[in-house]
Amino acid sequence: MSVKPLNNPSSDGKKRRFLSPEKKFQIFLEAQSGQTPVGEILRREGIYSTDLARIREQVKEGAVERLSVRPGPKRKTVARQDYEVLKLELQDKERALAEQAVELAILRKKTNGGSWDR
């Protein structure tokens, strides 16, 4: 009488199964509905309770992330290098504006006491 060893899932060469996001969400919804026992869902899908716990956590994180987005247009960001260039350009323009304000004040002073008919 020969005895066959029990099939060990780790020794028969099974590859790790990757579930699509849609499939994970379907499993999550089915487990949350309560219509089917969780054990039955786990057996049918070939996953462990820790996998279901991880799926539930992923769904929660995704929902929190999505719900935390504020409505309205998104802020536009500028690359650091572009920011530095724009900052220097703004400083140059502010300096030129200040110089022109000084020149204008000098011209007003000169013309204020004199006449335009010269």
Q: What is the pLDDT of residue 93?
A: 97
* C-alpha dihedral, 111 to 115 to 116 to 117, nearest 10°: -150
Q: What is the pLDDT of residue 49?
A: 94
Cβ atoms 50, 71 nearer than 8 A = no
5-32 pLDDT, tens digit per residue, is 444 444 455 666 788 999 999 999 999 9
For residue 84, is it left (φ>0), alpha (ψ between -120 and 50) or beta?
Answer: alpha
107-117 pLDDT, tens digit per residue, is 888 887 555 55
**Where in the chain are the domains?**
18-69, 80-111
pLDDT tops 50 at residue 43: yes
Q: What is the pLDDT of residue 117?
A: 53
- CA dist 52 and 13 (Å) reads 23
pLDDT tops 70 at residue 3: no
